[in-house]
């Protein structure tokens, strides 16, 4: 949904199509993204752990063919439980992929509980540094810090931005509640949420 919203805001997608077809059968806008060259969506989503693997491959391709693009990958702190993520972390460091930025949404929750009880990621920054990454830790709700971290140059290593966030921030009944990973708002909840974030 965030991708489609960004596409609509930037004019890549008609807002009417998003509003009318998102998540419906045979829509170009399924709930889990599918590769679609016509829309500029280069890869499918929904498979935990594949994002950084694919991103590392894209960054390596750019290095080897002297392409100028920079690759950005966003993962949640639940997703980094996946072994393929850590293989990609080692690979990216080994290949000195300084054209790769990993953004980790670190809110302490994943689909079925707290990361502390499932797979504790305390000292995540130290772990990434030990694997040879340039690490920046920020307030993931602060746009100035986000932009500053994205612009910061590294010393020939891949960059990890650990964005400390609060799941459901700004909506009282959602904050720090992992059950909202899958739950959908009913009408009354939507109106309350909109009021709490100033959209009414």
| pLDDT over 80 at 71, yes or no | yes
| pLDDT over 90 at 1, yes or no | no
Nearest to 121 by CA among 100, 140, 104, 138: 104
For residue range 144-185, what is the model confidence (pLDDT) as tens digits? 999 999 999 998 999 999 999 999 999 999 999 999 988 889
Secondary structure (DSSP) of 133-182: -EEEEEETT-HHHHHHHHH---SSS-EEEEEE--TTTT-TTTTT-GGGGT
For residue range 90-109, what is the model confidence (pLDDT) as tens digits? 999 999 999 999 999 999 99
User: Measured between alpha carbons, how far is 79 from 90 in angstroms, rounded to an integer?
Assistant: 16
* Percent of residues in the chain assigned helix, strand, coil, to nearest 5: 40, 15, 45
């Amino acid at each position: 949904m965030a991708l489609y919203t960004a596409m609509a805001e930037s004019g890549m997608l008609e807002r009417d199509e998003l509003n009318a077809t998102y998540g419906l059968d045979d829509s170009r806008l399924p709930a889990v993204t599918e590769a679609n060259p016509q829309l500029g969506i280069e890869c499918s989503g929904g498979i935990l752990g594949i994002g950084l693997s694919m991103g590392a491959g894209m960054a390596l391709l750019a290095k080897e063919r002297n392409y100028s693009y920079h690759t950005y990958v966003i993962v949640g702190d639940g997703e980094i439980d996946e072994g393929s993520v850590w293989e990609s972390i080692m690979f990216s460091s080994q290949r000195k992929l300084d054209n790769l930025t990993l953004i980790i949404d670190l809110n302490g929750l994943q689909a079925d509980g707290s990361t502390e009880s499932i797979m504790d990621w305390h000292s995540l920054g130290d772990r990434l540094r030990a694997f040879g990454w340039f690490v920046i830790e920020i307030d993931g709700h602060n746009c100035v810090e986000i932009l500053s971290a994205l612009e910061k140059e590294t010393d020939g290593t891949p960059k990890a931005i650990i964005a400390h966030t609060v799941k459901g921030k700004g909506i009282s009944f959602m904050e720090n509640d992992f059950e909202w990973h899958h739950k959908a708002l009913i009408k009354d909840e939507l109106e309350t949420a909109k009021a709490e974030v100033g959209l009414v």
